[in-house]
Amino acid sequence: MTDIKIKITDRDGNTHEVDAPTDMNMNLMEVVRSYELAPEGTIGICGGMAMCASCQCYVRSKHELPEKSDDEDAMLAEAFYVEDNSRLGCQIHMTEDLDGLEVQLAPES
């Protein structure tokens, strides 16, 4: 299997179920951009270096995600609207374990 299903709730509250490839070295931020679920220029501003928090999302399902790197942790410490389940989409790589993942995009800031 190379595609997984992910549920992404956009900033307007609409939920989209999308297919995400696991064999293309993609992260969640890139999946959101490829389906244009957030306007260009409002997500992935730093390109995926955990340096801007524009791809912050809330993880709604119980999936076990890889631990936050120090960079991601520090960036979230400076971001707004941060909750306990906040993660940076750019740091979540699409793997088969994440099939059925449910996330919600954090507000733009």
Residues lying near another protein in the complex (CB under 8 A) are found at 39-42, 45-46, 49, 51-52, 54, 70-71, 73-75, 77-78, 80-81, 109
Nearest distance from C-beta of residue 80 to another protein, angstroms:
6
Give residues with Cβ within 8 angstroms of 70, minimum separation 6. none
Nearest distance from C-beta of residue 62 to another protein, angstroms:
25
Q: Smaller CB distance to another protein: residue 4 or 31?
A: 31
Nearest distance from C-beta of residue 98 to another protein, angstroms:
26
